[in-house]
Amino acid sequence: MARLDAVLQDLQREENRWEKAQATDTPGPVRDSLQRSISALHAERDRLLRAIDDHYDQHPPLRQARDQLKTIPGVGDATARRLLCLLKRHRFTSARQAAACAGLIPIEYQSGTRVHKRPRLSKQGDPRLRATLYMAAIVAARHNPPLRTVYLDLIGRGKTKMSALGALMRRLIHIAFGILKHQMPFNPALVSKIA
């Protein structure tokens, strides 16, 4: 996954350069070089994704865990891969520990008796995991009825949309932890019981 992240970053840089080359008077050899580089990075990305999927297919418990995570509406291949990396790499005893490791716990800022800022996510964990969970939270807020209810309830209580999405990201970690712990697919009836 780390190598895939590096290739995706390189691919994004090259695509940005290609976009700039199209907007400016860039010489033909530079454009050709950019196209070859982009093609090679696309091929490497696809090869790495196949290797990751082959790894899951060769290890039935990992494949089962990935498939169970994908039963959560809003969680696709990319999110399931990232969640598995987090939850299988560490030995968490609780979902709260997993959320803290991912940097999804609210941090209160207070200085003295008069300076109080809004709580923010700690952002101490893997930023790529948080970015993936952010997109999953957006999808879940629209297409996962129990999480949509949670999202609308938070908005109704005066939370900002960003804060409500942060809460959904944390809730997705809790749900994923429970799925892997109990080896059961997503159960919408249990979402309301998660703190």
Report pLDDT for 101: 87
Q: Residue ranges of the chain with pLDDT lower than 70?
A: 109-116, 192-195
Using alpha carbons, list the distances in angstroms from residue 108 to 99, 113, 117, 118.
16, 13, 7, 7
Report pLDDT for 90: 86
Q: Look up tokens 């995706």; give the residue.
A: 8
Q: Look up tokens 């109080």; give the residue.
A: 116
Report pLDDT for 174: 93
Strand-pair partners of 116: 110
What would the pLDDT profile of 106-153 be if each residue is shown by its tens digit? 777 666 666 667 777 777 888 888 899 999 999 999 999 999 999 999
Report pLDDT for 106: 77
Q: How far is it, in rounded angstroms, from Cα 103 to Cα 65? A: 22
Q: How far is it, in rounded angstroms, from Cα 107 to Cα 97? A: 15
Q: How far is it, in rounded angstroms, from Cα 146 to Cα 165? A: 14
Q: How far is it, in rounded angstroms, from Cα 60 to Cα 65? A: 8
